[in-house]
A and B are shown apart, each in its own frame.
Chain A
Amino acid sequence: QTVVTQEPSFSVSPGGTVTLTCGLNSGSVSGNNFPSWYQQTPGQAPRMVIYDTNSLSSGVPDRFSGSIIGNKAALTITGAQADDECIYYCVLFMSSSGALLFGGGTRLTVL
């Protein structure tokens, strides 16, 4: 069974830089998985941040960026702010099945 892996939690200081990752329990993430990233605050619907590995969603600040680092997708926040504190989910497209798999989410704390 394919599982998408994310760090359960991460902490960053205000103004600092943090990189969250998104991997596969078997195999490597590539651009052909079209990684996308979403923010979710408690009680709210998710909001798209990044699509197609590194494309910034409309209205999202450019302190957010996406990339592939090694065998994982990555979301980097440069100059973290207090309102970046939330849960971040990645999604990978699996071409063999067409399935869209979510990672378990990373709870980001800014303090």
Chain B
Amino acid sequence: EVQLVESGGVLVQPGGSLRLSCAASGFTFSRYWMSWVRQAPGKGLEWVANIEHGGDMKYYGDSVRGRFTVSRDDAKNSLYLEMTYLRVEDTAVYYCARTVSSRGRRPDYFDHWGQGTLVTVSS
């Protein structure tokens, strides 16, 4: 059974930094793209970033590019999101999601999701 468990969400001040983790199990982690998706309280879903198997290719949403960094450790079956220069509008539940390609080189859908970890940015 695929399991994704996020951790690291806390209350942090604006301008601060935070690192989220996602522990994966139940599948061969190193063979899959992985993504972070977030959801602000009472709002819709927003793709944040994804990283290919191997970790060389990384892509980011416009609202986080230059501030957030996605990484992975395939030996530890773990995905990470390093968040810097945090803003109030970064407050959200952050989900880790396994990401798959239908037919192309780049991934286009999220087939398994974790339960999320809450990041609150507030003074």
Chain A interface (Cβ within 8 Å of chain B)? 34, 36, 38, 40, 45-48, 51-52, 55, 57, 89, 91, 93, 95, 98-105
Stretch from B9-17, B76-84, B103-111 that touches the partner: B103-111
Q: Are B47 and A34 in contact (CB-based, < 8 A)?
A: no
Complex Cα distance, B95 from A91, in Å, reads 15
Does A93 contact B111, Cβ atoms closer than 8 Å?
Answer: no
CA distance in complex: A95, B47 (Å) = 15
Using a CB–CB cutoff of 8 Å, the interface residues on chain B facing chain A are: 35, 37, 44-47, 50, 59, 61-62, 95, 100, 102-104, 106-116
Chain A residues with CB below 8 A from B104, complex form: 34, 93, 95
- Chain B residues within an 8 Å CB radius of A55: 102
Let me know if A100 and B44 touch, CB within 8 A.
no
Instruction: Establish whether residues A52 and B44, one from each chain, have CB atoms under 8 Å apart when the complex forms.
Output: no
Contacts of B45 in A (CB 8 A): 38, 40, 46, 89, 102, 105
